[in-house]
Structure 1
Amino acid sequence: MRPDLILLCFAYVLSQFFRAFLAVLTKALEADIGTTPEDLAFASGIWFLVFAAMQVPVGAALDKIGPRRTAASLLLVGGGGGALLFSVATTPAHVTLAMGLIGVGCSPVLMASYYIFATSYPPARFATLAALMLGVGTVGNLVASYPMALASELIGWRLSLVGLAALSALTAIGLYILIRDPERDAAAQKGSLLDLLKIRALWFIFPVMFVNYMAAAGIRGLWIGPYLSDTFALSTGQIGTASLVMGLAMIAGTLAYGPADRLFKTRKWVVFGGNLIAAIALFWLAFALSASVWLSVVLMAAIGFFGASFPVIIAHARSFFPSHLTGRGVTLMNLFGIGGVGIMQFASGRLHTSLSATDPALAYQTLFLLFGALLVAGLAVYLLSQDRTD
């Protein structure tokens, strides 16, 4: 791994942290500025939707100006500025605005590394490299669990966010210094997103990309905290430990998926089988909602592990991309993946609010059933896709 890729990996650690840390701060933010679970669901949804919307300009920027300036400038302004704004938040609206700005800052990080992998390494290694980057970067999920809970208790969430703002800015400066843009030829300036949308094979992959990350990101990034608190009355530290377990499972799953396409000589069936198991775990969790805290944590870990097919789905789609549209291609897939999470965060917040007033258990059961049903629907379309390996 080159120095620039190592630093990009660290930047992705920050990105993973920012999408998941709200769950741990549920009680602290409620006490200090009056946020509710619906407020945090809305703010988390804004992060994902802004992140997703940014994939279109980020893809064009990667193809036209390269990953160096794209990643460094957005992380500096969005990541550093957004974290600093969060640190001085006094209302839920401030949290939402800060999360949107942080979403801008995080939007190019993973795709910049994927662009470098796709243009500088053999195609057959893309899934393994992509999974390695995703798996190592998901350490941010771990930092967003127990360590963040501990930092919040020791120095306060505001000072913690100030430190994260400084760290984001320093990382952005390092990216500008270290990243080496891959060489581009004249063909790299031609083509558009519409050319990708004309590729029929991709339309059978888009639906599973849209739903595969919903449950893992939604539960780990937001609902694990309120669910365990409301159902089992766990403390912030205990919720942090449970989040840590699910985060470790997501890392293990990502690393396991990476070489699986080469091991089994298929991408389609690796993705289909893993996500089917994740759907079964979601239905099980819904119907064993309050049976045992340990069973719930194990099932959420299984959802995280088997729902970590993100890099293999992108590798499957990448095999259909024209080489000069690599940047737009990987970011288009990321738009579907992150956009699905963002939309579901909004929907889940409203769903929870509408049902929890009368029956809190029914609210969580319905939420987990909806996650599972959407995943099954995406897999049904994916069955029609064309398998392809490099």
Structure 2
Amino acid sequence: MTTDPASPACQSAPLNRTPTASPPPGGRTAWAAWAVSVSVYFVAVIDRTSLGVAGLDAADRFGIGASALSTFAVLQMLIYACMQIPVGLLVDRFGPRTMLLLGATLLTLGQFGFAFSHSMTPALLSRALLSFGDAMIFVSVLRVVGPWFPARRNPLVAQLTGVVGSIGNLGTAAVLAPLLHSRGWTVTFGGTALLGVAVLLLVGLLLRETPEGARRPARCTAPGPRPRILPQIRTAWGEPGTRLGLWVHFTTGFMAASFAILWGIPYLVEGQGLSREKAAVLLAVLVLASMPCGPLLGQLIARRPGARTHVALTVVLGTGALWAVVLAWPGGHPPLWLLVVLMVAMGANGPASLIGLDYARATNPPERLGTASGIANMGGFLSTTVALLGIGLLLDAASPGGDYTPGTYRWAFCWLYVPMLLGVVMILRLHPRVARRAAEGTSVPVPGHRPAQQGK
């Protein structure tokens, strides 16, 4: 399902990385191509996070408890994580436009199904379909970015992509939450499904994968030897930068993701006694804080790639320290200002997770970039799955009757430190090896990343 560089029928031609190919142009046309592709990601984030503001409503609608409710988000994250390598291979073979069209179709069908579900089984199936579509979007958008922008601009454009996702998340908190309580379940989720139809038409009519005159990625569409899928995966995984990217993504993003996707509103309403309106505002603070963080981190990493690991560890350890203060606060009710500070800190988690994808991009050649990005992108969704499931199980274990107290939430949220500590250990193990390879010049040379400065 991907290019075999050794195959005469599928010669590997690195996209926009050879002297005979036109260099990535940048400019207005490039930004237009990015805008069309990122519109799908915008809708995907809305669909993905819509359950976060509807968790309490979903529990009432389907008559379920915390562990059953967490099943929705766990299924969603698990499918997303497991699909990243297949999606990377498919993007490498069929191109991002095809995958964006397929992803948008599945997203739309899943959200329509969820809008009309009245019991847990069809709702789970709809959420699974949505997750398959969601899994195809982000890696495809990054693949669109490659041929349109110079390599030195890729970290910034990737962070801006994350900002657009944050805007979608903000729309979930600011628009979907009040709409859900004023217009009801079916109208709210049906309306977001219609957004999927709009972006599907937009991509189908307007998106161009590559600039005029640029080489397309080599795809194994001609007759010839069977595509070598496993060697492609093994080669990408064998690059230490890919594995470091996975663990950076694993460690940085899950605390904010698990909070925004499912447990934020229940924690703030049931655990802290806030109104739904105040809880939605705090969730919006988390999203708003992520918006300036993305471009700032993108510029920093582009100028000082050697700081990538240090930035990622600073973000995750700082967020973990703030959670420790919140969870240890006497009485279990920290002041509102401390919750605001925590939301701001978690706002940096998503942008920091994109550092992992930058490691994958900087250490792999273009013909396996989709595969490597898919591997790295699995990390945060695996850790989010672990966090979501662990919190739900601990809540039900501590309060089998469903009467969740501040103490119950305090106990359950301690689970966040399990994936955090695992990820930090793995980053510290891999970072010296990647830095050594970069210093020796044995990593894949990528334009815009000088080996002496990578310090990965």
Question: Counterpart in 2 of 1:334?
Answer: 377
Is the alpha carbon distance of 1:294 and 1:180 closer, same or farther for their aligned partners in structure 2, counting shifts above 3 Å?
same
Partner Cα separation in structure 2 for residue 21 and residue 221 of structure 1: 7
Partner Cα separation in structure 2 for residue 27 and residue 368 of structure 1: 18
CA contact (8 A) 2:248 2:423 kept: yes
Partner Cα separation in structure 2 for residue 285 and residue 121 of structure 1: 42
Gaps of 5+ in 2: 1-29, 221-226, 439-447, 450-456
Is the alpha carbon distance of 1:153 and 1:127 closer, same or farther for their aligned partners in structure 2, counting shifts above 3 Å?
same
Q: Which amino acid aligns with 1:228?
A: L
Is the alpha carbon distance of 1:196 and 1:265 closer, same or farther for their aligned partners in structure 2, counting shifts above 3 Å?
closer
Question: Counterpart in 1 of 2:216?
Answer: 184
Q: Which amino acid aligns with 1:315?
A: D
TM-score (norm 1): 0.92
Superposed displacement of residue 328, structure 1: 0.9
Superposed displacement of residue 103, structure 1: 0.8
Is the alpha carbon distance of 1:225 and 1:255 closer, same or farther for their aligned partners in structure 2, counting shifts above 3 Å?
same
Partner Cα separation in structure 2 for residue 226 and residue 281 of structure 1: 19
Give the 4+ runs in structure 1 shifted more than 4 A: 185-191
Q: Which amino acid aligns with 1:114?
A: L
Cα deviation, 1:264-323, whole Å, max 9, x if unaligned, reads 442222222222212212222221241223322321331232453122221022211122
The answer on 1:67 being equivalent to 2:112 is: no
Superposed displacement of residue 336, structure 1: 2.1
Quick check: 357-366 or 216-225, which moved more?
357-366
Is the alpha carbon distance of 1:373 and 1:256 closer, same or farther for their aligned partners in structure 2, counting shifts above 3 Å?
farther
Question: Counterpart in 2 of 1:51?
Answer: 80
Alignment of 1:373-384 (within 5 A): 373-384=418-429
How many correspondences in the alignment?
389
Higher gyration radius (CA)? 2
Partner Cα separation in structure 2 for residue 75 and residue 154 of structure 1: 27
Partner Cα separation in structure 2 for residue 125 and residue 225 of structure 1: 36
Is the alpha carbon distance of 1:353 and 1:300 closer, same or farther for their aligned partners in structure 2, counting shifts above 3 Å?
farther
Q: Which amino acid aligns with 1:196?
A: A
**SS at the partner of 2:216?**
coil
Question: Counterpart in 2 of 1:319?
Answer: 362
The answer on 1:280 being equivalent to 2:314 is: no
Superposed displacement of residue 145, structure 1: 0.8
Superposed displacement of residue 359, structure 1: 6.9
Partner Cα separation in structure 2 for residue 254 and residue 187 of structure 1: 32
The answer on 1:305 being equivalent to 2:348 is: yes
The answer on 1:31 being equivalent to 2:60 is: yes
Partner Cα separation in structure 2 for residue 13 and residue 201 of structure 1: 28
Partner Cα separation in structure 2 for residue 338 and residue 223 of structure 1: 15
The answer on 1:128 being equivalent to 2:152 is: no
Partner Cα separation in structure 2 for residue 381 and residue 354 of structure 1: 30
**SS at the partner of 2:333?**
coil
Question: Counterpart in 2 of 1:212?
Answer: 252
Question: Counterpart in 1 of 2:33?
Answer: 4
Alignment of 1:205-284 (within 5 A): 205-266=245-306, 267-284=308-325
CA contact (8 A) 1:71 1:112 kept: yes
Superposed displacement of residue 326, structure 1: 0.8
The answer on 1:13 being equivalent to 2:42 is: yes
CA contact (8 A) 1:47 1:100 kept: yes
Q: Which amino acid aligns with 2:376?
A: M
**SS at the partner of 2:348?**
helix
Q: Which of 205, 220, 233 is the aligned partner of 1:193?
A: 233
Q: Which of 415, 430, 439 is the aligned partner of 1:370?
A: 415
Cα deviation, 1:57-76, whole Å, max 9, x if unaligned, reads 21111111101111102211
Superposition RMSD on alpha carbons, in Å?
A: 2.3
Identity of aligned residues (%): 21
CA contact (8 A) 1:224 1:243 kept: yes
Partner Cα separation in structure 2 for residue 84 and residue 339 of structure 1: 26
CA contact (8 A) 2:34 2:145 kept: no
Is the alpha carbon distance of 1:243 and 1:329 closer, same or farther for their aligned partners in structure 2, counting shifts above 3 Å?
same
Partner Cα separation in structure 1 for residue 316 and residue 153 of structure 2: 22
Partner Cα separation in structure 2 for residue 72 and residue 56 of structure 1: 18
Q: Which amino acid aligns with 1:218?
A: S
CA contact (8 A) 2:155 2:299 kept: yes
**SS at the partner of 2:205?**
helix
Partner Cα separation in structure 1 for residue 296 and residue 420 of structure 2: 20
Superposed displacement of residue 233, structure 1: 2.3
Partner Cα separation in structure 1 for residue 48 and residue 245 of structure 2: 24
Superposed displacement of residue 158, structure 1: 0.9
CA contact (8 A) 1:279 1:373 kept: no
**SS at the partner of 2:351?**
coil
Partner Cα separation in structure 1 for residue 299 and residue 53 of structure 2: 32
Alignment of 1:100-111 (within 5 A): 100-111=128-139
